Amino acid sequence: MRIISADSGAALLNDRFDATSIVAASAVLVDSPYRLAKRCIAEPIFSRIADSHELIVHELELCQELLKETGADVVHLDMSFGGLSMEELSPIQLANISGKARGYLLKMLPKLRKMAAEIKRAYGVEVLAIGKDSVPVRIAELTAGAHAILYSAEMVVAEKMTMRLGLPSKCYARKVESGIVLHSLAPAEHDIAGFAADDKRTLEKVAFSELINPCARGFRALEFTPNSNLVE
Amino acid sequence: MRIISADSGAALLNDRFDATSIVAASAVLVDSPYRLAKRCIAEPIFSRIADSHELIVHELELCQELLKETGADVVHLDMSFGGLSMEELSPIQLANISGKARGYLLKMLPKLRKMAAEIKRAYGVEVLAIGKDSVPVRIAELTAGAHAILYSAEMVVAEKMTMRLGLPSKCYARKVESGIVLHSLAPAEHDIAGFAADDKRTLEKVAFSELINPCARGFRALEFTPNSNLVE
Amino acid sequence: MRIISADSGAALLNDRFDATSIVAASAVLVDSPYRLAKRCIAEPIFSRIADSHELIVHELELCQELLKETGADVVHLDMSFGGLSMEELSPIQLANISGKARGYLLKMLPKLRKMAAEIKRAYGVEVLAIGKDSVPVRIAELTAGAHAILYSAEMVVAEKMTMRLGLPSKCYARKVESGIVLHSLAPAEHDIAGFAADDKRTLEKVAFSELINPCARGFRALEFTPNSNLVE
């Protein structure tokens, strides 16, 4: 079963470790054995946290874009409604959700259902609201996080600034020859990861060190500084 | 403290990774340091998912059978009511449970209480509704899962078919000389496992590969095919 | 950001693995990268489980004591109210908490708010009710647990008794040359630990072995016996 999924991930953190903006979004194509993306698209978003409830629409657009390129059997969206088809998801199913979150979802729902219907018509593929149960959503999150590291590094180099990047839940970053891997540290996900290719060799131009986010158990962060050894 | 417990585990999965039937049930005797079964009984059940709410009665029967063989100090049942004795569990405690599940439990309760009373009378042993908090229940689940691998392999060999088996939550299978071990991947359970002895050497007659269940985070699956290298 | 936090941890267990008393309390100073305490104070408490709801006040006193020694930027208290400042925490926020626990918190709240106000006045530092989200609270828990091992060992030696000590959630003990380390086994906490220095070399006078708490998944325990090889 070939699955396309998307997620946004990694957040800039201020001095008090509050998230201020979401850095990247990514869509992935995942196939058996469902450990890594077979194909992905990613982009920097640097979206304010306050606007993050709107990202779900953009995530579905990224799925649509990847679907056009590669095709798939099903789309997994990062909304947790037990795997219900987006076309069947009505305001009634949102009744259990508390106050503000429900308001945002109700606002997004018509747009999301319309897009899901288009995807069904154009590609014959269902969009499922499976969220936290989906491994492809997790791989999309890790892939977005890996790209967020590259985008942050680029900004650090361009602006000669320091930066603190909060990684997605339960993962750690490992630099490899060709880019950066974000390995899951969640239980039973030891072989699940996201990858971003560092084609521009940006990671050679920054130094980064890992720390624990003290205000959010299970979350790690990276602190970036321009590489002082670098002669420019 | 010698504890007897039982559980059912591992499920056949269809092409969409929906569970279609539960494969095995097992009862275990566990003693300090509570990492592995000291003794177990297991059986293939291939019970339809729709009927799985009735398995709890059969699990208690398996406990009773093992109790007759080995004795124990207490029985842990896979029902999560904070360790309450089954004899004290009344319909009132079930009030918090939502719709359908409560209906099933109410239906099973008289039978379970009767069996618990018999066990108390015959062996002087309490049956506790401890469920998810119990390590012996977890070991029974892993032991059932290990046996499910053998039963699935037998069916694959007999029917010359392929099969996809969903393992219990957060574990992975490792083939050893004498059989199959299901190691827990849950946090702080790295030394907890279930084992099934492959006396008939069935595992030599099949090939299996591991994959991630993409629709259920934390769950792995095995895909079986008859071993094509085998001259029959 | 330098964070002070405190917690109580590790419990004596009876033959049925019920906790009977909390053994130790500890306050820690934690700084980036937030993996270990930079500084700690600890004390044996051997407080009855029935009285454990009062420990939170003592934990804040320990924070205050450490604050006097070392200073800090913020205090993390083991109460889970989303990181709300203790000064802002009113009986209204406690409305969602169920019966008995709320009664205890309501009883403690005036005292805790008074202490938080004093800390704010004296050191200009906020006390946050961040609880389960806080890594420093977790490090305090592991540090209390490590000291609990020493205190238990001392009692075992003094009283020539055996003892069963339940460790904090998801961790294991490792004896090192200079003392005892409690390593977290929680997801993504593989490099987080608590330490207690065994200056009196008490651990050489006891034998201890690790077991799983069969009635509480994720919890390990140690069984202590006086070291029989020891000539006294």
Q: Compute the half-sphere exposure of residue B99: CA atoms within 13 Å on the CB side of its CA.
A: 1
Residue appearing with tokens 């439990």: B105
pLDDT mean across residues, chain C = 94
How would residue A28 be classed by pLDDT, with cut points 50, 70 and 90? very high
- In chain B, whose CA is at the least distance from the CA of A4? B214
The stretches of chain A forming alpha helices (DSSP H) are 55-70, 99-123, 135-159
CA C52 from chain center: how many Å? 12
User: Does B218 lie at the interface with C, CB-CB under 8 angstroms?
Assistant: no
Cβ-Cβ contacts under 8 Å for C147 (sequence gap 6 or more): C24, C26, C42, C43, C44, C196
Residue-wise burial string across B94-121, b where 16 or more C-beta atoms lie within 10 A, e elsewhere: beeeeeeeeeebeebbeebbebbeebbe
**Which of A10-19, B221-230, C137-146 shows the lowest per-residue confidence on average (mean pLDDT)?**
B221-230
Q: Which residues of chain A make contact with B168, given a CB cutoff of 8 A?
A: none
User: Could you report the per-residue pLDDT of A211-232, keeping only the tens digit for each?
Assistant: 999 999 999 999 999 886 554 4
User: Does A73 lie at the interface with B, CB-CB under 8 angstroms?
Assistant: no
User: Does B170 lie at the interface with A, CB-CB under 8 angstroms?
Assistant: yes
CB A146 within 8 A of CB A196: yes
Q: Name which of C170, C210, C211 is nearest B187 (Cβ-Cβ).
A: C170
- Distance from C188 to chain B by nearest Cα, in Å? 10
Contact B32 C211 (CB under 8 A): yes
Region C213-227: mean pLDDT is: 95
- In chain A, whose CA is at the least distance from the CA of B214? A135
Q: Name which of B170, B187, B211 is nearest A32 (Cβ-Cβ).
A: B211
User: Could you report the per-residue pLDDT of B52-77, keeping only the tens digit for each?
Assistant: 888 999 999 999 999 999 999 999 99
Q: At residue C7, does pLDDT exceed 90? A: yes
Q: At residue A128, does pLDDT exceed 80? A: yes
Region B36-40: mean pLDDT is: 98
- Distance from A24 to chain B by nearest Cα, in Å? 23
Q: How many CB atoms lie within 10 A of CB A80?
A: 15
Q: Name which of B15, B186, B212 is nearest A34 (Cβ-Cβ).
A: B212
User: Does B99 lie at the interface with A, CB-CB under 8 angstroms?
Assistant: no
- Distance from A100 to chain B by nearest Cα, in Å? 25
ipTM above 0.85, yes or no: yes
User: Could you report the per-residue pLDDT of B91-116, keeping only the tens digit for each?
Assistant: 887 777 777 888 888 889 999 999 99
Q: Name which of A133, A188, A189 is nearest B215 (Cβ-Cβ).
A: A133
User: Does B32 lie at the interface with C, CB-CB under 8 angstroms?
Assistant: yes
Tokens at residue B118, please? 């018999």
Cα dist from C72 to A17, C9, C30, C41, C77, whole Å = 16, 23, 9, 15, 14
- Distance from B78 to chain C by nearest Cα, in Å? 12
Sort strands A3-13 and A74-77 into parallel, antiparallel or unpaired: parallel
Contact C215 B187 (CB under 8 A): no
Contact B188 C220 (CB under 8 A): yes
Q: At residue B140, does pLDDT exceed 90? A: yes
Contact B211 A134 (CB under 8 A): no
CA dihedral A113, A117, A118, A122 (to 10 degrees): 150
- In chain A, whose CA is at the least distance from the CA of B217? A133
Contact C215 B134 (CB under 8 A): yes
Q: Which residues of chain A make contact with B16, given a CB cutoff of 8 A?
A: 1
**Which of B102-116, C29-43, C61-75 shows the lowest per-residue confidence on average (mean pLDDT)?**
B102-116
Q: Phi and psi of C109, rounded to 5°?
A: -55, -45
Contact A220 C188 (CB under 8 A): yes
Contact A134 B214 (CB under 8 A): yes
Distance CA C21, CA C144 (A): 14
User: Does C172 lie at the interface with B, CB-CB under 8 angstroms?
Assistant: yes
Report the pLDDT value the prediction gives residue A193, as an integer from 0 to 100.
Answer: 98
Report the pLDDT value the prediction gives residue C214, as an integer from 0 to 100.
Answer: 98
